[in-house]
Amino acid sequence: MILTSLLVSLALGQEGSTPYVRSRVAAGNASAQCLYWTVPTITWHNSSVGNPDTALEAQKQREFEAIRASFQSWQRLFVSCGNLRFSEGPLVDDRKVGYELRGDNNRNLVLFRSTRCSDPDVVPASDACWIDDTCGNDYDCWDSDARTIALTLTTYDEKSGIIYDSDIQLNASGFVFTTVDSPQCIPPATGRDNTCVSTDLQNTMTHEIGHLIGLDHVPDDPRSVMFPRAPSGETSKRTIDEGSHQFVCEVYPKGQPSQSCVTPTLDSSGNTTVLGKQSMGCSSSGAGAAWLPSMAGWALLAWRRRRGGARS
């Protein structure tokens, strides 16, 4: 198999670090297929609920605008050198993430989860959803590590790497999302009144959209929008770095097909559609605390298991 070059020359000003890292069907395996979109337009939807912890309608609208601004930041790069387009769809009532192979209501969804599945008052310990891995969808709750700010769940073809669906969940059960530019919240301020920066929503979303389009973490460069950790008060990830810009130009070149890493091969039946799933998120690091480990483990789930009850 012939590999397309992945690690290219270092971006200006980022000597000693990789300009970008592509997500693959097997994390860290340089011979594995990369994930990428082939559709010309990715339509995404905000959940109509918005952030359940936000009481004021005006603030809900500011949150929607921050999410929109994050997509627009990536769109500007695609306009300059890429082949994809983002389109905002209408608000939807759907609260379930994942993808059904023959489903009629698959959407690329952005939603906030405001309760934790691990709370026994939310999900009983005896519920079968713990075995089936469906508690998040069944109870509309955050079912990942409490220290993870957000999680992007991507469904793709395990052989071709083509992405079919990508959903972004924001952990409102563990973080206060804010939309102001400054100042950083200083304890005991929490940011709930949105007068200081706690966990910046646009900062978070810009990172997660990177996962949505096929970027993995860049663990050795805090200047990258794909650096996997974000301390309270950070807004630097609102601005997309040159390495991630380079990814857009090289993987989604304007006027050309999107670029895979490995030439897809057919199995004996000629079928390439075997669905897999990966979850990628951004970890938090509190002020004065040691860096937390990246919480984004890969969950490669074949279609057979997903039908048995994986998050779908």
- pLDDT of 18 higher than 70: yes
Pick the more confident residue, 80 or 2.
80
Percent of the chain whose pLDDT exceeds 90: 73
Nearest-angstrom CA–CA distance, 35 and 132:
26
Tell me phi and psi for residue 250, to 5 degrees: -90, -35
E-assigned strand segments in 134-243: 148-157, 163-171, 177-178, 199-200, 229-231
Nearest-angstrom CA–CA distance, 265 and 131:
34
In this prediction, residue 289 carries a pLDDT of 28
- Domain boundaries along the sequence of the chain: 41-267+285-307
Model confidence pLDDT, tens digit, residues 287-305:
322 222 222 322 222 222 2
Average confidence score pLDDT of the chain: 84
User: Mean per-residue pLDDT for 261-282?
Assistant: 66
Dihedral in degrees, nearest 10, Cα atoms 182, 65, 208, 36: -140
pTM: 0.85
- pLDDT of 213 higher than 70: yes
Under 8 Å CB-to-CB from 106, ≥6 apart: which residues?
Answer: 99, 100, 164, 165
CA within 13 Å, CB half, 200: 25
Nearest alpha-carbon partner for 212 in 53, 62, 45, 57:
45
Model confidence pLDDT, tens digit, residues 86-104:
999 999 999 999 998 877 7
Q: Which CATH code for domain 41-267+285-307?
A: 3.40.390.10
Place of tokens 């998050």: 311
Whether 162 and 214 have beta carbons less than 8 Å apart is answered as: no
Nearest alpha-carbon partner for 214 in 24, 85, 86, 58:
24
In this prediction, residue 29 carries a pLDDT of 85
Instruction: Give the range among 27-31, 249-253, 259-263 with minimum mean pLDDT.
Output: 27-31
Nearest alpha-carbon partner for 109 in 43, 41, 171, 175:
43
In this prediction, residue 257 carries a pLDDT of 96
- pLDDT of 26 higher than 60: yes
